[in-house]
Chain A
């Protein structure tokens, strides 16, 4: 007796289809459509503050008096119509940023301000006479609340309003002051 040999029924081959995916997101874009403007104020013998809320309300504390009370932009959300209006003496406004990014995603907001420097002529500034901007606050339209968080809507858009507090020392020097407010978005 001898074996004819072992045979195997080969179970062969099997294939499967795999899926591969990727998503390209539009880059985050900012567009400043309105600057933060504390307007015209009159410093007093005491230090004080000027506050502009993200809802575009202005008020003063301490020795600071407000001059003019006309808001550049009212409560309306669609302020673009008013963008091109000339600013008159005493106007003030919250900052407005239009941002765009990946639809339906949340993002965090970080706001940083440099000191507001006294301008002299067109370019020179005097750091010793600077005013501090503090308490920067943001309001996300899609979130409909004041928070350090926003959300790109289904079209990948949101609008951020920014307010802040200007610290005005006693007998601050008259002149025009300018600062840079930087907005960071992280998601």
Chain B
């Protein structure tokens, strides 16, 4: 059917409806309205992301931490353990969700120190598993890792930063 023909058909239908609407005949019917309320999705941090403690390096390097918790380093020597971030997501068991994570975070250190940047990654399966006792309640764990870039002769000290993670139905 070409465009011209389709247009003609549409006009004809509109005319018919208009005729019906203008009819003086009384009629009634009953409509049914439904609504369902789903569990509010929410997210909480359980453990924070830690790239551990590393020795100052005169070459600089990276520390990579997968969302599974596996850590590797290049150019720098780790001297204490790393820790992936764990978030608890609560929502409707029957719904999938998506995760939006800041792509990176700057870790700020002592005065005068150059911040260290970490790119972030997450597991993002987006599937709830059923919570015990409450059939509609779904819970999931969201794991976050990343890759930290350590500068050459990075000034010793504690570095920290904040990033945002958003979950959405």
Q: Let me know if A25 is at the binding interface, CB within 8 A.
A: yes
* Dominant SS among interface residues on chain A: strand
Contacts of A182 in B (CB 8 A): none
Contact A14 B167 (CB under 8 A): yes
Chain B residues positioned under 8 Å from A154 (CB to CB)? none
Distance in angstroms from B120 CB to nearest chain A CB is: 8
Would A24 and B150 be within 8 Å (CB), given that A9-B35, A11-B92, A11-B169 are in contact?
A: yes
CA of A18 to CA of B161, assembled, Å: 8
Q: Is there contact, CB below 8 Å, between B33 and A20? A: no
In the complex where A102-B53, A102-B79 touch, is A21 in contact with B107 (Cβ < 8 A)? yes
Q: Report B28-50 CB contacts with A as 1/0, cut-off 8 Å.
A: 01111111111111111100111
Partner of B116, one of A10, A13, A22: A22
Question: Once the chains bind, are B156 and A13 in contact (CB under 8 Å)?
Answer: no
- Report the Cα distance A22→B154, complex, angstroms: 12
Q: Contacts A18-B49, A22-B107: A11 and B39 contacting too (C-beta < 8 A)? A: yes
- Could you tell me the distance in whole angstroms from the C-beta of A19 to the nearest C-beta in chain B? 4
- Is the Cβ of B31 less than 8 Å from the Cβ of A20? no
State whether A10 and B53 are in contact (beta carbons under 8 Å apart), knowing that A20-B118, A20-B162 are contacts in the complex.
no
Write the A108-143 contact mask toward B (1 if CB under 8 angstroms, else 0).
000000000000000000000000000000000000
How far apart are the CA atoms of A13 and B42 in the complex, in Å?
7
Give, as a whole number of angstroms, the nearest-CB distance from B56 to chain A.
5
Interchain CB contact under 8 A, A15 and B43: yes
**How far does the alpha carbon of A18 sit from the alpha carbon of B146 in the complex, in Å?**
13
Tell whether A25 pairs with B166 under 8 Å between CB atoms, given A16-B87, A17-B45, A20-B85. Answer: no
Are A24 and B162 closer than 8 Å at their CB atoms? no
Whether B53 pairs with A20 at a CB distance below 8 angstroms is no
> Which residues on A sit within 8 Å (CB–CB) of B38?
8-11
Q: Which residue of B lies closest to A19 (CB)?
A: B48
Complex: how many Å from CA A9 to CA B118? 37
The chain B residues found within 8 Å of chain A, CB to CB, are: 29-45, 48-57, 63, 79-80, 85, 87, 91-92, 105, 107, 109, 116, 118, 120, 144, 146, 148, 150, 154-169
The 4 closest A-B pairs by CB, nearest first: A22-B51, A19-B48, A23-B53, A20-B49
29 contacts between A and B (CB under 8 A): A4-B33, A11-B37, A11-B40, A13-B166, A13-B167, A14-B40, A15-B164, A15-B167, A17-B162, A17-B163, A18-B144, A18-B165, A20-B48, A20-B51, A20-B85, A20-B105, A20-B160, A21-B107, A22-B50, A22-B53, A22-B54, A22-B159, A23-B52, A23-B157, A24-B150, A24-B159, A25-B54, A25-B156, A27-B56
